[in-house]
A and B are shown apart, each in its own frame.
Chain A
Amino acid sequence: MTRRSIAVLLVGVFMSTSLPAFAQEPPDLFSSPTTATALREGVLATALAEVAGSRVLEGRFTQRRTMRGLPRPLESRGVFLLVRDRGLQWHTLEPVDDEFVLTRRGISKSPAATGSRGGSDPRRRGPPLGPATELLFALFSLDLETLERRFDLYGVGTAEAWQVGMRSRDKATARAVRQAVVQGGQRVDSITLVNGSGDELSIGFHDVSVRTEELSDEQRALFQ
C-alpha cells in the first residue's frame, strides 16, 4: 500500500451489521504493542482480503461527540459513501443536514449544507484542520503506513473480533488525536478518537453494503 493511493480505502473493512458500536477497549489493548506488518499479516488479514474486489461501499453511521462543558454528548447519524481511489462522502442527516467530501486534495463542503462557499481555493476549503483531517482520512481508509508514522500501534483479538489501538508519538498529533481505537471483525465496526483536551469522538458503522456497479455521474462529480 502506498501512501499516495487511496487504494488503501479498505472497502470491506468497514462492512458490519452486527457488533455493537462504541465498545470499550479491553484493559490490555494498550499493553500489546504491534506493527503495521504484524497487523496486516495477523488479525487484519481476513478483513483486508475481503476488501480486494470491492470498489464502493455505503452505509449508515452513528456518531457521538463527548465534550467538556457540554451537558450531554452530541449524537448524530447519517449516511456515507466510500469509493476506493476517490474519497469519502459524509452526509449527516440528523439533527442537522450537512455534508462534506473528503479526498486526498482536501475537504469540500456542499454549499447548501453550510452556507459557506466551497471550491478548490485553499482559503475556502473550510477550517485548516491539518493533521486531524489527514488522520481521519488514514483511519477511515485504514492506511496503516501513514498511521504507523504518527502513532504507536497496539493490537489484540482474533480475525473475527479485533481491536487496533493507536497512541500519538508527537505533540502536534497529540493535540488533534491523542489516542484512537478501531474495532472490528470481518469489517471495521467502530472508530473512537480522543483529542488533546480529552474530548471523545465515536463513530459506529451500520447496514454497510458493497456495490460493484459503477458510480453515477452525480456521484463521480462529488469526488472531482
Chain B
Amino acid sequence: MPSAVVLRFRSWLAALFVLAAVFAGLVVPQVQVQTDLLDLLPRSRVEGALADRLTQFATINARKVLFLIGHSAPEVASEAASAFADSLARSGAFSNVRVHWGGDAEAAAELYRQHRFTLLPESARAPLTAGQPEGLERGALAALFSPLAFARPDVSDDPLGLGAGFLLEQLPSAGAAQLEGDQLVVRDPDRAYVLILAETVASPFGVETQQHAREAIAAAHQRADAAVQGHVPTDAPLEVLVSGALPHAAAATESARHEVTVFSTIGTVAVLTLLLGLFRSWRAPVLGLLALGAGACAGITATHFVFGEVHLIALVFGSSLIGVAIDYAMHFLSDQFRRADWSPVEALDHVAAPILMGMAATLVGFGGLLLLPFPGLRQMAVIALAGLPVACGTVLCLYPVLATRRAARLPGWCERILARFDEATASLRLSPRTLLVLIPLLALVALGTARVVFQDDVRALQARFAKPVEDERRVRELLRYTTETAVFVVSAADSETVLQSEERLTRELDGLIATGRLGSYRAVSRSLPSAARQRADHELLRRYVYAPDGVLPRVMRKIGFDAAAIDAELARFPAEAQPLTPAQWRAHRASSPWRQAWLGERDGVYASIVSLGGARDLAELRALGERLPDVSFVDRVREISTTLEQNRRAVAWLLAGAYGALAIILSFAFGPRAAGRLLVPPVAATAIALSALGWLGIPVTLFTVLALLLMLAMGVDYAIFLREARAERRTALLAVSLSAFTTMLSFGLLAFSTTPFIRAIGITLAIGIGACWLLAASTAPAPERAA
C-alpha cells in the first residue's frame, strides 16, 4: 500500500478522533437547540439604539402566555383559576403570573390620589376641554344615584368618580373581558372564563423552557381540578385554553424533533440497506455509517461554534444531506464492479476526481445560501459546507484502507432493473411517435407553470398545529381581540417630547377606536401624561371643578356635604401644578405594568412603544406613523415578507445567472451543441418542478427558488457524467441512478415535514432531481458502439 495512502488514513483517523472528542465533550453538553422560526429570518432593519430595545420588547412579548380557565359555573372558574395561577407561580417555570388585578388597581388608585390635581381620565377631559362641565356633573350624579355603581368604593373620597375613571383606563386591555371582583372574566353563553397572564422565565423557543412549561401547566391543571372537587356543580370538566408563542413553539419543537428522528432514521436505514443489498457485505453499511456519522458530527459542531446554537429546522434540513453524503461512499464502492481484480487503493485514482468535482458543485450551491441575509439558511449552508467535505474526506482517506472487495459483479436484481432502465431510456429518441407523447406533456408542463403563484408572506412559512391554532381561535373569539405584531415606536431627545408625541398619536388612535377601526391600544402616557398635558388638566380642574361654583362643590352640596367640608376640599387644590415626573412615576409601583412599554433613554434617545389590538387596516396605521412627528410604525411581519420577496427575485436572477454561466462553461468544454444537450435535463426539470407545484397549488417562495438552485448544483453532473462515461453506460447509469435515488429519498422525506418551507424544499428537490435523472438518462448520447 502506498505510504501516501497510509499517511492520509492515519491523519484523517486522528482528525476524526479529535472531532469526535470535541463533539462529545464540548458540543453535546453545551449545544443550544433553538426553535424560533424568526431566528431563521433576517434581523429587523430598524437602525441604531432602538433596534435592541425593540428586540427586547419582542422577546418579553414572546414570553407572554394567556390562559383562559372556563367552567359553566363562574365561581368554580374563579376558584379554579386562582389555584391554577398559584400552581403556575410556584412551578418556577413561569414568572409574573397574574390572575388578581386588584393590586394594579390599588397601585394606580394610590398614584392617582397622590397626583389627583394634575391627572384626569380621558372621559372627564373630553367634556371639560369642550367647556361643558355639566356633562361631568351629570355623569357624576347619575353614577351616585344609580344602583349600578353600588360596588364602587371610595365615593366619599372621589364623589366625581374621576379616580375611578382614571383607574378604568389603566386596566390591561383584554378585549371583552371584564373585571369581576379582581379577576378578568369573559363569558360565552355556556361558560365563564377567567383570564390568567404569565410569562415563561426564559425564551419560549428554548427546548428546556418548553419542557418545564409543559410540566407546570399539567400540574396547574391538576391543582385546579383538585381545588374545585366537591364544588356544585362539578359535572362539567374545566376547560383550559392556552394562547401565546409558547404553545405554537412547543408544538413546532415536538414535531421538528420527531421529524429529525424519523427522517434521519428512515434515510439512514434506507441507504444502509441499499449498501448492504448492493455490496452483499456488512462492511459496506458500516463504512457508510462512518461517513454519515463523521459528516453529521462535523456539521453540528461547525454550526454550534459559528452560531452559538443549532436551529432545529436546520437539523431537519440537515437530515436530508444523508442522501448527498452517502453518494460519495456509493460512488467509491461501486467502482469494484468495474474490474474483477479491483483494489480499493486503485479505486482512488479512478473516483477521487469525479467525487471531488461533484462535491465542489454541491458546495458552490450551498455556499450560495451564505450570500443571503437569512441566518437560518446560513446555518443550513454551514451544516452542508462542514458536513459534506468531512463525509467526502472520510470516504477518500479511510475507504482505501478499510474497504475490501467482495462482490465481483452487481447482484442479479440490480442487473435486471438496470438493464430494463437502460433499454427504456436508451430507446427514447426523437421520433414522430415520441413527439406524440412529448407535445401533450409539454402542454401539461406549460399549463402547470402558468398556474404557479408566488408567496412571500412570512406567516405562511410557519407550521400550524391543530391544538394551539384552535385554542388561539377560541381565545380570539371569546376576547374579541387580537394583539397586533406591529407597534408604534415613539422616540425623541427627551421624555417630555416622547410623551407629547405619544399623546398626539393616541388622540388619532382614539378616533380610530371610536369608528371601530381599532380595538385598543396601550400607551404609557395613559399612566404618565406629559407635563404639558398635566398642566392643562390642572388648569381644567382649576377652572371647572375646584372653582367656588365648580362641579365639585355643586355635586358635594347635592349629596349633603356642608360648606365647611366643601371649603376644606377646595382649599387642598394647589394654585401651581406639580406634575408627576417620569422619575417619580418610575419609582412608583403603579408604573410596573407599563415598564415594558417605556423604553427609557439610550444613547440620548428616549423612546416608548405603543402596542395595538384588533386593527382593521394596518395601512391606515402605517400612514399615521409617516404623518406624525417622532412616531414610526414598525411592522416586522411586513418587513420580513418584503425581504423574502426581494430575495426571491434576487435568487431567481442568481439561478438564471448560474444557468448562463454553466452554458458558457459547457460550450467551451464540449461545444455549443453538446452544451445545449447537457442543459436540457436541469432546465426541463426546473420547468417540471415548477409546473408540479402549480398543479399541486403549492405557492412558490424564496425557498422553492433556492431548492431549484440546489437542484442545479446536484443534478447538472448527471448529464455530464453520463456523457463522459458513455463508453460504460451501464456503470455510469448505476452511479447516477444510485445518487439520484438517495437524494430523492432524503429530500422526499422533507416533503412530509410540518414546516411549510422545509416541505417546499423537499417537494421541489424530489421532483426536480427525479426529472433531472430521467431526462439525463434519456437524452444522453448513445454508446459509441463502433468504438
Contacts and interface: CB of A to CB of B under 8 A. Distances in A.
Contacts of B189: 4
Interface stretch (A10-18, A48-56, A124-132, A153-161): A124-132
B559 interface: yes
A27 interface: no
Contacts of A128: 168, 178-180
B146 A70 contact: no
B639 interface: no
Nearest to B164: A127
Interface string B527-570: 00000000000000000000000000000001111100100000
A176 B138 contact: no
B672 to A, nearest CB: 72
Interface in A146-203: 149-150, 169-173, 175-177, 193, 195-197, 199, 201, 203
A217 interface: no
Nearest to A199: B150
B145 A201 contact: no
A130 B180 contact: yes
Contacts of A70: 155-156, 559-560
Interface in B109-156: 123, 127, 132, 135-136, 138-139, 141-142, 144-153, 155-156
Q: Give the size range of B's interface with the partner.
A: 35 or more
Given A70-B155, A71-B560, A65 B135 contact: no
B236 to A, nearest CB: 13
A122 interface: yes
Contact of A193 (B135, B150, B560): B150
Nearest to A94: B145
B76 to A, nearest CB: 9
A189 to B, nearest CB: 16
B506 to A, nearest CB: 15
Contacts of A203: 147
Contacts of B513: 123
B172 interface: no
A92 B560 contact: no
A223 interface: no
A67 B156 contact: yes
A197 B153 contact: yes
Nearest to B141: A96
Interface string A39-80: 000000000000000000000000101011111101010000
A74 B145 contact: yes
A133 B148 contact: yes
B53 interface: no
Given A95-B145, A114-B139, A130 B156 contact: no
A90 interface: yes
Given A92-B146, A127-B168, A131-B181, A176 B151 contact: yes
B145 A92 contact: yes
Residue of B138, B175, B480 contacting most chain A CB atoms (<10 Å): B138
Nearest to B194: A172
B520 interface: yes
A131 B530 CA distance: 36
Contact of B179 (A71, A92, A130): A130
B145 A63 contact: yes
Interface string B469-491: 00000000000100000000000
A121 interface: yes
A117 B520 CA distance: 17
Interface string B414-445: 00000000000000000000000000000000
B79 A127 contact: no
Nearest to A96: B141
Contact of A176 (B123, B181, B185): B181
A36 to B, nearest CB: 12
B603 interface: no
B758 to A, nearest CB: 42
Given A67-B156, A68-B156, A131-B180, A100 B146 contact: yes
Contacts of A29: none
B182 interface: yes
Contacts of B560: 70-72, 74
A18 to B, nearest CB: 23
A157 B153 CA distance: 34
Contacts of B151: 129, 132, 175-177, 195-196
A179 B560 CA distance: 27
B78 A172 contact: yes
Contact of A65 (B145, B176, B565): B145
A116 interface: yes
B142 A113 contact: yes
Interface string A103-143: 00001000001111100011100111111110010000000
Contacts of B75: 149-150, 169-170, 172-173
A127 B165 CA distance: 9
Contacts of A132: 148, 150-151
A25 interface: no
Nearest to B134: A115
B540 to A, nearest CB: 16
B157 interface: yes
A85 interface: no
Contacts of B181: 130-131, 171-173, 175-176
A145 to B, nearest CB: 11
Nearest to A68: B156
Contacts of A169: 75
Nearest to A112: B138
B139 A115 contact: yes
Contacts of A92: 142, 145-146
Interface string B165-189: 0001000000110111111010001
Nearest to B76: A149
B183 A123 contact: no
Nearest to A98: B142
A172 B178 CA distance: 13
Contacts of B354: none
20 contacts: A63-B147, A67-B155, A70-B559, A71-B559, A74-B144, A96-B142, A100-B146, A115-B136, A115-B139, A122-B178, A127-B152, A128-B168, A129-B149, A129-B151, A171-B181, A172-B75, A172-B180, A197-B153, A199-B155, A201-B147
Report, nearest first, the 3 A-B pairs whose CB atoms are least far apart. A69-B156, A172-B181, A130-B180
Interface of B: 73-75, 78-79, 123, 127, 132, 135-136, 138-139, 141-142, 144-153, 155-157, 164, 168, 175-176, 178-183, 185, 189, 232, 480, 513-514, 516, 520, 558-562, 565
Interface of A: 4, 63, 65, 67-72, 74, 76, 90, 92, 95-96, 98, 100, 107, 113-117, 121-123, 126-133, 136, 149-150, 169-173, 175-177, 193, 195-197, 199, 201, 203
Given A71-B562, A130-B185, 13 more contacts: A67-B156, A70-B156, A98-B145, A114-B138, A127-B164, A129-B148, A149-B232, A176-B150, A177-B150, A195-B150, A199-B155, A201-B150, A203-B147
